[in-house]
Structure 1
Amino acid sequence: MIGDRRVRGATRRLGALGLRAVGPRAVAARAVAALLLVPLLLAGCTSAPGPGSPAGHGSPRTTSAERVAAYAEDRLQAMTLTEKVASLLMLHRPGTDAAALRSFAGSYGLGGLILMGDNVPASAPALAALTAGASSDPGLPLLLGIDQEGGTVSRLAGDRASGADALKSLPAEATTDAFTSRSTLLDDTGINLNFGIVADVTADPHSFIYDRVLGTDAATGGPRVAAAVAGEHGRVLSTLKHFPGHGATGEDSHRGIPSTALSRADWLARVAPPFRAGIAAGAEVVMFGHLAYTAVDQRPASLSPEWHAILRGELGFDGVAITDDMLMLQHSGLPRYADPVENAISALAAGNTMLLYVLPADPAAAGVDIPRMITGIAAAVDAGRIPRARIDDDVRRLLVLRRTLSGQTGPFVPGG
């Protein structure tokens, strides 16, 4: 009776959870699929409620996915708009003091933290202690992300697996092995999200990203990207970056807004296949780059509704879309990207689920006032610049993911 192919695909993925999951992170690795079923789960549960449980929330016959969906919906309804907006932010704060990180994230109600090199202690046990203490609510843990590609981009010294510079010339099986090893290290240290799979392709050795790509073209990149996702499966959430593909331009988006005149047809044939392969393999997150394909949209892809529609519609991605570091827009030096609040509003209006900021110890030094940004986004929602339903969808998506990471399936208890 359900004709939508994305819902059928989500149902199949949910059905696989019980066969493949070995722990909370293994379950979370496919939790995004549950989001497509949330309305059906909430409306279609016919099991009789258990003693003292709201209808459909605690029956013995209610599945874990249904209980997580109910928790997310109940928690969403209890949140203010300001709390919803704050939960869509993943920020960085330097330091290895877990209590300080917990206080920082908790004071704003953030949805996640990105860990950079300055957050990584000297030993794996110390890092595990830091990540264990970073979340104030064990029932709704933070998303803890890191850039652990291996090779030239590595935050953890203990990662001895090959990076893309070597993997691009080895069989695809070597990529699976490398990312299995890498994600095991991340999982063991409590990190649940890896910004580690570069799905860009380029054959230009002079490109700033050449040493980080898994393939020099679509034919070599696609199988290795899929292999990397397979290697991470069940350990960390996988991220494909930098959509729609940084290899089409040799410029560095840390120094400006690169652009390419590559046509949409050429993009589909030459650049999109590794992203399509990673999505088909089950990647839960796609990171949007701050680069422009001017034949599709003059705006950077991170701020482009058109590129988000392509990702969702043509590539069939139903997971979390996150921006690359939003400070890069300001660092471009272009006046139209000088206001961080306007950048944030544009990024959410375009279709991003989450905004990423690699902030210094003093955010004001980077021109960012976090409370002002949160209230500015909320005001944009009130003014209709960002659909309120979109914010709710984004928050719900992240609540399901974070709740699943916790391994808990009890009902939401306000103030509990």
Structure 2
Amino acid sequence: MRRARGMTAAALLVLATTLGGCAAGGSAHPAETAPSSPAGASGAPRAAATPDPVVGYAEERLQNLTLRQKVASLFMLHAPGTDPAALRGFVDRYGLGGVILMPDNIPATPPALAAETAATRASDPGLPPLVGIDEEGGDVTRLPWDAQPGAETLRSQPPAATQQAFAARAALLKQAGVNLNFGTIADVTADPHSFIADRILGTDPASAAARVAASVTGERGTVLSTLKHFPGHGETEADSHHTVPTAAVDHARWAAQDAPTFRAGIDAGAEVVMFGHLVYSGVDSQPASLSPAWHRILRDELGFSGVTITDDLRMLQDTGLPQYQDAGANAVAAIAAGNTMVLMIQGAEDPDALIDAVVAAVQSGRIPVAQLDADVRTLLMLRRSIALHG
């Protein structure tokens, strides 16, 4: 967007520790995963592990949510304007798990933006919504006070420059109350005519991977990092805002050309991966955002256990293709495929109708209840970790 199944408890606890100030690359030892142990050598029983409060909080909240509330928490939607009260009312009315800030949400000053984002937390400060933004730098800069360089500059400089730029950018976002940046382009292409060419961090897998990892390292512990657009937008010149780009790419080509940057970002600690509306026909005929196969590849081959989110689902409708004109059906397909969260900058679509479509899919068995609960639990733990440490 220009304008795998859920994270494991252990992975989320590592995230919570990181948000609390742990250095990048540090380890955490989640107490709740350790079973009660038998008596030690002295014969005295060992103390039982203390349950983790984030896990306990998430489980309790999950048990008290209605089906509709669970489904609503999987949506990140957009409300226009800069009125804090209106934004708060939008989040509260639908029970959303997140909101995305677009250019029409950005006021003239950082304090005014901070007031907007604070309003989203006012009703339930113990469980803040995710507040996302596309702050890449360069061509995609939402904050007018972000003077850090973008990809066109950074890809000709050492990776350390990328880390520095993204660290400074993350600090600006945190000060404004934004907790999730859709900022790291992990796509790779040497084609100057590609739609994504101006936004990539490298024209070959090795150079791009180094800067992708650096961007995540720069953001780490300040805002959540996102890698986009999985499985990679660089294999086609087409713009996914207007069509579904398709390339005759098979798994071997993808593994050599496109996977290294995503692997590097995951290894650096990225918490979120955004799925693009991209078809690599040698792997799957479905767009990756609606593809169970691509979600399995991300989980099983790249080892990602974090949050997955769609690119703006409105883009599928904007292609004009008849099979994507039902916004509710697109949301159902996205969650059924394996996305933890659905992102949509809705036009005429009623958020209630989107939520209703997914509720009906759960009731019919199209989306298993266990899958829904796993996604909701993942997001509850992430949001609670932000409340405690972010």
TM-score by length of 2: 0.90
Q: How does 1:98-137 map to 2 (within 5 A)?
A: 98-135=84-121, 136-137=123-124
CA contact 2:165–2:218 (8 Å) conserved in 1: yes
Q: How does 1:261-410 map to 2 (within 5 A)?
A: 261-359=248-346, 363-364=347-348, 368-407=349-388
Choose the corresponding residue for 1:220, options 172, 194, 207.
Answer: 207
Q: How does 1:166-181 map to 2 (within 5 A)?
A: 166-181=153-168
Q: What amino acid maps onto 2:360 in structure 1?
A: A
Question: 2:272 & 2:19 partners in 1: Cα distance?
Answer: 19
Higher helix content, 1 or 2 = 1
CA contact 1:84–1:395 (8 Å) conserved in 2: yes
Asked if 1:88 corresponds to 2:74, the answer is yes
Question: 1:328 & 1:203 partners in 2: Cα distance?
Answer: 25
Question: 1:145 & 1:14 partners in 2: Cα distance?
Answer: 21
CA contact 1:215–1:222 (8 Å) conserved in 2: yes
Q: Report how far residue 388 of structure 1 moved.
A: 1.0
Match of 2:42 in 1: none
In structure 2, relative to structure 1, the CA distance for the partners of 1:16 and 1:343 (3 Å cut) is closer
Map Cα deviations across residues 41-94 of structure 1 (whole Å, 9 max, x no partner).
389479xxxxxxxxxxxx99736xx11101101110111111100000000011
Q: What amino acid maps onto 1:41 in structure 2?
A: E
CA contact 1:144–1:191 (8 Å) conserved in 2: yes
In structure 2, relative to structure 1, the CA distance for the partners of 1:89 and 1:16 (3 Å cut) is closer
Match of 1:51 in 2: none
Q: What amino acid maps onto 1:92 in structure 2?
A: H
Question: 2:297 & 2:374 partners in 1: Cα distance?
Answer: 18
Q: What amino acid maps onto 2:112 in structure 1?
A: A
Question: 2:384 & 2:376 partners in 1: Cα distance?
Answer: 12
Q: What amino acid maps onto 1:375 in structure 2?
A: D
Map Cα deviations across residues 126-184 of structure 1 (whole Å, 9 max, x no partner).
11111111222100001000000000000001111110011111111110011011101
In structure 2, relative to structure 1, the CA distance for the partners of 1:17 and 1:114 (3 Å cut) is closer
In structure 2, relative to structure 1, the CA distance for the partners of 1:319 and 1:179 (3 Å cut) is same
CA contact 1:42–1:70 (8 Å) conserved in 2: no
Choose the corresponding residue for 1:254, options 241, 246, 263.
Answer: 241
- Identity among equivalent pairs (%): 58
CA contact 1:45–1:62 (8 Å) conserved in 2: no
Q: What amino acid maps onto 1:99 in structure 2?
A: A
Choose the corresponding residue for 1:149, options 136, 142, 146.
Answer: 136
CA contact 1:42–1:69 (8 Å) conserved in 2: no
Q: How does 1:21-100 map to 2 (within 5 A)?
A: 21-22=19-20, 41=32, 44=35, 62=50, 66-100=52-86
Question: 2:103 & 2:209 partners in 1: Cα distance?
Answer: 29
CA contact 1:197–1:240 (8 Å) conserved in 2: yes
Q: What amino acid maps onto 1:97 in structure 2?
A: D
Question: 1:17 & 1:133 partners in 2: Cα distance?
Answer: 23
Question: 1:184 & 1:85 partners in 2: Cα distance?
Answer: 32
Question: 1:144 & 1:129 partners in 2: Cα distance?
Answer: 13
> For 2:234, what is the secondary structure of its paired residue?
helix
CA contact 1:217–1:271 (8 Å) conserved in 2: no
Number of residue pairs matched by the alignment:
372
Asked if 1:236 corresponds to 2:223, the answer is yes
Q: Report how far residue 190 of structure 1 moved.
A: 0.8
TM-score by length of 1: 0.84
Question: 1:376 & 1:150 partners in 2: Cα distance?
Answer: 36
Question: 2:382 & 2:321 partners in 1: Cα distance?
Answer: 35
Map Cα deviations across residues 13-53 of structure 1 (whole Å, 9 max, x no partner).
856965x6556xx79x99xx99xx7xx8389479xxxxxxx
CA contact 1:162–1:178 (8 Å) conserved in 2: yes
Question: 2:329 & 2:126 partners in 1: Cα distance?
Answer: 33
CA-based RMSD: 2.5
Question: 2:16 & 2:95 partners in 1: Cα distance?
Answer: 29
Question: 1:73 & 1:209 partners in 2: Cα distance?
Answer: 41
- Structure 2 gap segments, 5+ residues each: 1-6, 38-46
